[in-house]
Structure 1
Amino acid sequence: MPTGDDRTPTGTEKAGGDAAGRSAGAAVAVVDGKGTVVGWTQAAQRLTGFTAQEVVGHDAIEVLVAAEEVERAPAHARQCRVQGGWSGLAGLRHRDGARLEVNLRVSPLSGACGERQWLVCATRTTALFTSPVNGADMEALLTSAPIGIAVRDPQLRCTWVNDALALQDGIPREQRLGRRLTEVLPGDEAERAEAVMRRVFADGVPTVDHQYRLSLPANPHRQQSFSASFFRLDDAEGHPVGVCAMILDVTDRERARERLAVLSEASTRIGSTLDVMRTGQELADLAVPRLADYVTVDLAEAVPQGEESPVRLGAAGGHVPAFRRAGMASIHDGAPESIWSHGEHVLVRAGSPFTAVVNSGRPHLEPFLDTSPGTWLGQDPIRAERVRRYGMHSLMIVPIHARGAVLGVAVFVRSADPAPFEADDLLFAQELVTRAALALDNARRYVRERAAALALQRDLLPRRLTGGAAVDVASRYLPADREDGVGGDWFDVIPLSAARVALVVGDVVGHGINAAASMGRLRTAVHTLANMDLPPDELLARLDDTITHLAEEDLDAPALTGAVLGATCLYAVYDPVSRCCTMATAGHPPPVIVPPHGDVTFPDLPTGLPLGVGMASFEAVELELPEGCVLAFYTDGLVEARDVDIDAGMHRLGAAVAQPGRSLDDLCSAVVAALPARAPSDDATLLLARTRALSPSQVATWELDCDPAVVARARALTVGRLADWGLEHLAPTTELIVSELVTNAIRYGTGPVVLRLIRHRVLVCEVCDTGESTPRLRHARTTDEGGRGLFLVAQLSHRRGTRHTANGKVVWAEQELTPTA
C-alpha cells in the first residue's frame, strides 16, 4: 500500500473485501506476517499522530501498542493467527504518549506471492460489545449503570437486566429473564413498545425517547411514565443478535409537565369573566378530574358583594366568616356528594380543619379520612355519611387569600382515585388556588368599583323625570360601556316658575367614571343656573364660564379636565301658557320636532362652540309649538356611527319618533330598536317630551297702574278669581302675597305693573314691572318699620324667586294646592 494513501495496497485489493468494506471511515493500517507495518493511511495518522515515515517498516507492537499492553500483545497476535482474525477493545499509543481507547478489528488479507498480511481497523469507541450479548464483558459494563438497562434476544426475550431497572418498576430479575415484555406487563403500551423493538431489530435505526405509561403490579392504581431508547446489538461480524433497551422512569417529569400545562390552562380558564361566583366555579371545573374527584369552592359572603373579607390572613381569635358555595364539581353528574347547592350558605363547624385553615392561612392535608367517633368527621354526622357513601378517602383544604385577606376555602377530595393525596399534590393545589385567588380578588374589586360607579351614576342622573303641566317626558340611556354602565351623557327636566320647564341634554367627551364625574359637575351647574331663571343663551354663556374656571382649577387632574373640556349641551325652555319654546345650543345637534299631524323637522339653530373651548357666543331661537308636539333631544351616539352619515342617523331617529298615537315609552323603545345591531361606540341618550298647553281659564292677567291705591283692587281681583277656581281656602295667604309683591313693584319699580295668576299643579302669583333692580330678602330689626314683606312672602309660599325679561323683571311665588281642612 502506498504511504499516505487511504486505499488498500495494490497486491491485496482482491482479499478481505468484506472487512475492507466495514472499515470505511476508520483508521486503517496493513501489517505483514512478521508484525511490521507496511501500509499507513491518513486516517491512521489523524488518530495516532504518527506519520507514515515514522511507522512504515517498524514493528507495530513496538511503535503503536500502549506500554501497559505490550506484554499481552504477542498472545493476541497468536490468537489472531489461529482464529483468522480478532476484534475487541485495545489501547494504542499516541505520538505524544497518551493512551487511545479504540475498538480494534484485525482481518486477514492475501498479499503478494501468497504472503499473509493483516488489515487493522481502529475506531475510537467503547459502545460495541465483543462478547455474546449475555457475556461477562457486557455484565461488567452495564451492571453499575444508573438507568434501567435490559438486553433482549431476537425473539425479544430478556437475556440480561441490571439492578436499576428492577428498582424502577419493582419487577424482580427472575420474573423478567427469559420472558417478553408483554408476558411481564400485559397491555397495549407493552405491545406498542415491542413493536418498536421489532422495528429497531429489523432496520437497525435506534429509537430515542419512546414514552409509554404502565400500571405496575406494585402500584396497580397509579400509572407510571417511562422513556425508553432502543438500539440494536450486532456481533463482531455485524450480524444482529439482540436489542438493548435503556429505560428511565419519567413519572415525576411528566407529572410536572402535565401540571404546568394545567397551570397554563388555568391562566385562561379561571377568571374569564369578572363574576366572582363564576370564577369560583371555573376553579372547581378545572381541578376535576385532573387533581381530585370532587372539589368545592366556598367564599366569604362579603366577597360576592365586592366587600372586603372580614377575616385577615393569620388572624387569631377563631372567627370564621359566613361562607357561600361559589363552585363545585364532581366526577359524578350533579355533584351528589355536596351537602349544599351552588349559592347556598355553608355551615362551618368550630373545631373542624376549616376553622384552622381560615385562621392560620395554612393548608390542611389529610391523606386518609377517618370517620370514627372522636374525629372531627365523627362529630359531623352529615359529612361523615357522605364520606362513607361515596368512598371519599383523602382530603385537602386550601385557603383562598389575596392582599392579606381570606376570601374563602377550596376543598379537594379523592374517592374513585385510590391514591391518597401527597405533599406534591398539596403544592400543586396551592399553586392552582393562588392563581384563582388573584382572579377572584380582581373580580371582587371589579364588583366593588362597578357598584361605586353605578351608585355614582344613579346619584348624578335624574331618578324621576316629571314635566309638570308643561310636558310629558320619557327617556333612555344607552352607555357604550355595557359592563360599567357609566358614561358622560346626561339629560334633565327642570321645573321652572310659571308652569314652565327646562329640557336639557348634554354630552361629555368619553365614557367611564371620569366622564360621569365631569357630567355630574355640569349637571349641578346647570341646575344652579336654571334656578336663576336665566334665558337659554345667557345660561350657556354662564355655564361656559363655569367650565373654564373648573378647568383652571383642575390643571393637576388632566384626565378630569380633558373630560370636561369640549362638552356639548342643548338647553330649551317651554312655556305651556304661550306654547313658546326657547332654545340654544353649545355644539349640540338640534332636536327632532314632530307636530301632531305634521312632518318631521329639525330647527335651524345657531350651533355655537362646545363648552369650555373659549370665545363662545350663543344665540337663542324662539319657536311656537302646537299642543301635542313631540320633541326628541339626543346625543350624537344615537345618530352617529363610523360608517353611517349623521344625517342618515337623524332621519332614522325622526322616522322612529313620527308615530302618532303611541306613548312616549313606546316611541323610546322604537328608537332603540331601530339602532344598528352592533355595539355602540359612544354613549347614547334620548329624551322625549310631548308638549301640553294651559287653557285660558287657568290663567288670569291684570295690568295695574303704578299707584299704591291699586293694591286693594289687586287683592279683590285675586279673591274673586280664587273663588272661581274653588280655591277660597288659599285666599288669606294669596291676598297677603299679592299685596306685598304689588306694593314692592309700585314702590321700587317703574312703569305699569302686571299681576298674573296661574293655576296648574300649584298656584302661581306673578308681578311684573319694568324695573331692573332685584328685590332682596332680608331680616328686619325689631325697630324697623318695614323690610318684612319678602320675608313674609317666603314664609307663606312653597317657592319664590325673580326672573328677568327683555322688558324688566318678574317676581313670583308658588303655593301648593292643599285641600281645605
Structure 2
Amino acid sequence: IGPLVQAVVPVKDDGKVVGLVSAGITTAKVGGTANQQLPLLLMAAAVGLALATGGTALVSRRLLRQTHGLGPHEMTRMYEHHDAVLHAVREGVLIVGGEGRLLLANDEAHRLLDLPADAEGRHVLDLSLPADTAGLLASGRVATDEVHRVKDRLLAVNQRPTDIQGGPPGSVATLRDSTELRALSGRAEAARERLDMLYDATVGIGTSLDVTRTAEELAELSVPRFADFATVDLFDAVLSGGQPEAATTLRRTALSGIREDAPLYKVGERIPLVDSAPQARGIGSGRAVLEALLAEATGWRAQDLERSAQVIEYGIHSLIAVPLRVGDLVLGTVSFWRSDKPEPFDTEEVALAEELVTRAAVSIDNARRYTREHTMAVTLQRSLLPRRLPEQDALDIAYKYLPAQAGVGGDWFDVLPLSGARVALVVGDVVGHGLHAAATMGRLRTAVHNFSALDLPPDELLALLDELVARIDQDEAEESGNSPVTGATCLYAVYDPVSRLCTIARAGHPPPALIHPDGSVEYPDVPAGPPLGLGG
C-alpha cells in the first residue's frame, strides 16, 4: 500500500504494557489532502500579509506624526536635550497626575521643596510638604503667583491643568524662590519709610522758636515710627538760651513713648552724666553709640543701677544714644529705646538716628538763639521803659505795659513834666521785633526827651522826630539785617492844667480813647499824619 505515516500508543495494565494500538495513513493520501487545502492557505496568508502591511503603515504614519518625522537617533537626542533643559532651569517644575501622584520633578523642585529621591510616583500628600502647598498640588486648581512658605523659603507658585486642550489629566506647577526678592522689597520699603520720616522731620520739627517744644516735636516724630520710646536731654544753659558749658548733669526736656508707664526719667528730672554711659560717650566722641543689648551694657547700667534694672525688667532691650550737636557745640543728647519690637537696633538704624538728630539739632539751636535774643531784648526794653513815673500834680496817671507774646517789639510810652506845670504824654511803636526794635525804641524815646525840653507844640515836635527818623534810615541804609525805622508811629499830647486843654498830634498812630465818668468811650477826631520818616 506504500509508505505510511503511523502513530502507535501503548496499552498498560498496572504499569505493564499489555498491548499496542496503531493507526496509520499513507503519504500519498496526506499529499493529496494538502494539495486540496493549499489555495485556501495561500489566500489566508495573503490576507494576513495585507492586513499586517496596512497596520504597519498606519502605525508608522501615526508614529511619524507624533515624533514629527524624527528618527530614533534624533528622538534620543531630543529627549536628552529636553531632560537637560528641564533640570537646568532656575524654576522648579512639577507634573502631577490626575490621581494626585507626582509624575516628574526637576532638580530645582527637589531643592526648593526638599523632596526625597523617590518622590516620583508617590502621592503629593505623602511628601511631607506644608499642608497648603500639598493641597494646592493635589487639587490641580489654577494658581498664579501664590506665595507659600516652605521652611525658610517664600515660593511663588503657578499651576495650570494639563487637560485643557485634550491632554492627560493632571497639572503642571512651577516654583520660584522669591525670598531674596521679598527681602530686597522689604529693604526698599524700609528705605522709603526712612526718607519719609526725614522729610517729615524737616517740615515738622522747628515749627516754633521754643526750645522745649522743638525737643518735644523730635521725640513725638520718632515714636512709634522709629523707636518705642524717645527722650531728649539738654543742658540747663540751652533751655535758657545760653551757651552750653561742660556739666555733669542733663535735664530731661522731652519724653515720648508708646506707653506712659516706662521707668525712664520723667520730664524735668536731672540725669547724671557718667563717663561710662552711652550718652556721655556719645557727647565725648561726637558720634552715636549703639547698645544693641542693654542687658549686657555695663556702662549704661552703672549710670543708675536701680533704674537700669527696672528698665530691663520692663522690656526695653536696645538703645541708640546720639549727641545733639551743631558743629562743635553740643546741646545735649537724644536717646532712642526699643521694647516691643524684638529685633535690636542695627547699624543702618544708627545712621538714620544720626541724620534725624542732626536735622533736629539745627532747629533746637535756632530756638536757643532766639531765646537768648528774646531774653536780651526783653531786658533791654525793660531798661529803656520808665521805671517809675515822674512827680507832677497835673494828672493822675496809671499805666500797664503788656508786650506781645510773639516777640519783643518797639512799643513804648513816657510821661514828661514840662514848664508851667504842663505834662507831655507819649506813646510810640517801632516797626519790627527783637533787639534792633528795642534799641531803636530807646533812641526815639531819648530824642523825644530832648525835643520836649525845647517846649515845642506837639506837631512841631513830631516834625523834628520825623526828620530824625529819616536821617537814621539813611545812615543805616548800607547795613544789612536791620529793619528800617521808617514806619514808626508816635502820638504826642500836652496837657495844660491852667487852661485845662490837651493838645494832641499823631504820626500814623491810632487816636486816643477818652473814657467819660459814665463809662462811655469816645475817640477824639485827631488829624492823622503819616508815619515817621515819610516827610509828613
| Letter in structure 2 aligned against 1:483 | A
- Asked if 1:242 is matched to 2:163, the reply is no
Name the counterpart of 2:274: 349
8 Å contact from structure 1 (residues 536, 584) kept in 2: yes
| Letter in structure 1 aligned against 2:130 | V
- Asked if 1:490 is matched to 2:412, the reply is yes
Pick one of 442, 456, 471 that aligns with 1:549: 471
| Letter in structure 1 aligned against 2:427 | V
- Asked if 1:294 is matched to 2:268, the reply is no
C-alpha distance in 2 between matches for 1:419 and 1:162: 36
- Asked if 1:266 is matched to 2:201, the reply is yes
| Letter in structure 1 aligned against 2:467 | D
C-alpha distance in 2 between matches for 1:609 and 1:442: 36
Report how far residue 343 of structure 1 moved. Answer: 1.7
C-alpha distance in 2 between matches for 1:604 and 1:288: 59
CA deviations over 1:285-334 (Å, ceiling 9, x no partner): 33334333333221222222222332xxxxxxxx5553111222334x32
Pick one of 299, 321, 332 that aligns with 1:397: 321
Name the counterpart of 1:582: 503
Residue segments in structure 2 that go unaligned for 5+ positions in a row: 1-58, 70-77
C-alpha distance in 1 between matches for 2:468 and 2:238: 42
C-alpha distance in 2 between matches for 1:322 and 1:245: 60
5 Å matches for 1:729-808? none
Report how far residue 139 of structure 1 moved. Answer: 1.8
| Letter in structure 2 aligned against 1:184 | P
C-alpha distance in 2 between matches for 1:259 and 1:289: 13
Report how far residue 174 of structure 1 moved. Answer: 5.8
Identify if the C-alpha distance between structure 1 residues 401 and 136 changes in structure 2 by more than 3 Å, giving closer, same or farther.
Answer: same
Identify if the C-alpha distance between structure 1 residues 303 and 369 changes in structure 2 by more than 3 Å, giving closer, same or farther.
Answer: same
Name the counterpart of 1:745: none
C-alpha distance in 2 between matches for 1:305 and 1:444: 7
| Letter in structure 1 aligned against 2:276 | G
Identify if the C-alpha distance between structure 1 residues 460 and 400 changes in structure 2 by more than 3 Å, giving closer, same or farther.
Answer: same
Q: Percent identity?
A: 41
Pick one of 138, 149, 154 that aligns with 2:86: 138
- Asked if 1:406 is matched to 2:330, the reply is yes
Name the counterpart of 1:284: 219
C-alpha distance in 2 between matches for 1:534 and 1:405: 54
Paired residue secondary structure (1:556): coil
C-alpha distance in 1 between matches for 2:418 and 2:140: 97
Pick one of 536, 557, 565 that aligns with 2:458: 536
Pick one of 218, 229, 249 that aligns with 1:322: 249
| Letter in structure 1 aligned against 2:497 | P
8 Å contact from structure 1 (residues 494, 503) kept in 2: yes
5 Å matches for 1:376-395? 377=301, 380-395=304-319
Identify if the C-alpha distance between structure 1 residues 272 and 593 changes in structure 2 by more than 3 Å, giving closer, same or farther.
Answer: closer
C-alpha distance in 2 between matches for 1:607 and 1:153: 99
C-alpha distance in 1 between matches for 2:333 and 2:131: 42
CA deviations over 1:225-254 (Å, ceiling 9, x no partner): x79585758689586833434322323233
Aligned length: 453
| Letter in structure 1 aligned against 2:338 | R
Pick one of 435, 446, 459 that aligns with 1:524: 446
Name the counterpart of 2:239: 304
C-alpha distance in 1 between matches for 2:68 and 2:354: 60
Paired residue secondary structure (2:492): strand
Name the counterpart of 1:184: 130
| Letter in structure 1 aligned against 2:174 | C
Identify if the C-alpha distance between structure 1 residues 487 and 284 changes in structure 2 by more than 3 Å, giving closer, same or farther.
Answer: closer
CA deviations over 1:422-456 (Å, ceiling 9, x no partner): 22222222222223223322332332333334334
8 Å contact from structure 1 (residues 365, 395) kept in 2: yes
Name the counterpart of 2:29: none
8 Å contact from structure 1 (residues 467, 501) kept in 2: no
8 Å contact from structure 2 (residues 234, 331) kept in 1: yes
8 Å contact from structure 2 (residues 273, 303) kept in 1: no
C-alpha distance in 2 between matches for 1:180 and 1:265: 54
Identify if the C-alpha distance between structure 1 residues 497 and 279 changes in structure 2 by more than 3 Å, giving closer, same or farther.
Answer: same
Identify if the C-alpha distance between structure 1 residues 353 and 137 changes in structure 2 by more than 3 Å, giving closer, same or farther.
Answer: same
5 Å matches for 1:467-482? 468-469=392-393, 470-475=395-400, 477=402, 479=404, 482=405
Larger helix share, 1 or 2: 2
8 Å contact from structure 1 (residues 543, 611) kept in 2: yes
Report how far residue 82 of structure 1 moved. Answer: 0.7
Name the counterpart of 1:612: 533
Name the counterpart of 2:341: 417
C-alpha distance in 1 between matches for 2:388 and 2:95: 89
Report how far residue 390 of structure 1 moved. Answer: 1.9
Identify if the C-alpha distance between structure 1 residues 583 and 330 changes in structure 2 by more than 3 Å, giving closer, same or farther.
Answer: closer
Report how far residue 503 of structure 1 moved. Answer: 0.7
Paired residue secondary structure (2:237): coil
C-alpha distance in 2 between matches for 1:180 and 1:452: 84
C-alpha distance in 1 between matches for 2:328 and 2:302: 33
Which structure exhibits the higher relative contact order, with contacts defined as CA atoms closer than 8 Å and separated by 6 or more residues?
2
C-alpha distance in 2 between matches for 1:258 and 1:185: 35
- Asked if 1:593 is matched to 2:511, the reply is no
C-alpha distance in 1 between matches for 2:508 and 2:129: 89
| Letter in structure 1 aligned against 2:172 | G
Identify if the C-alpha distance between structure 1 residues 254 and 152 changes in structure 2 by more than 3 Å, giving closer, same or farther.
Answer: farther
CA deviations over 1:579-635 (Å, ceiling 9, x no partner): 332333335454333443697655454544543233x5xxxxxxxxxxxxxxxxxxx
8 Å contact from structure 1 (residues 270, 439) kept in 2: yes
CA deviations over 1:17-72 (Å, ceiling 9, x no partner): xxxxxxxxxxxxxxxxxxxxxxxxxxxxxxxxxxxxxxxxxxxxxxxxxxxxxxxx
TM-score, structure 2 as length reference: 0.68
Report how far residue 416 of structure 1 moved. Answer: 3.4
C-alpha distance in 1 between matches for 2:481 and 2:472: 13
Name the counterpart of 2:262: 336
C-alpha distance in 1 between matches for 2:388 and 2:155: 73
Q: Which has the larger radius of gyration?
A: 2
5 Å matches for 1:40-51? none
Pick one of 462, 470, 488 that aligns with 1:567: 488
8 Å contact from structure 2 (residues 295, 312) kept in 1: no
| Letter in structure 1 aligned against 2:182 | D
8 Å contact from structure 1 (residues 368, 393) kept in 2: yes
Name the counterpart of 2:289: 364
8 Å contact from structure 1 (residues 322, 346) kept in 2: yes
8 Å contact from structure 1 (residues 233, 244) kept in 2: no
Paired residue secondary structure (2:263): coil
C-alpha distance in 2 between matches for 1:286 and 1:323: 22
CA RMSD of aligned residues (A): 4.6
Residue segments in structure 1 that go unaligned for 5+ positions in a row: 1-77, 89-129, 144-148, 219-223, 311-318, 617-821
Name the counterpart of 1:255: 190
TM-score, structure 1 as length reference: 0.47
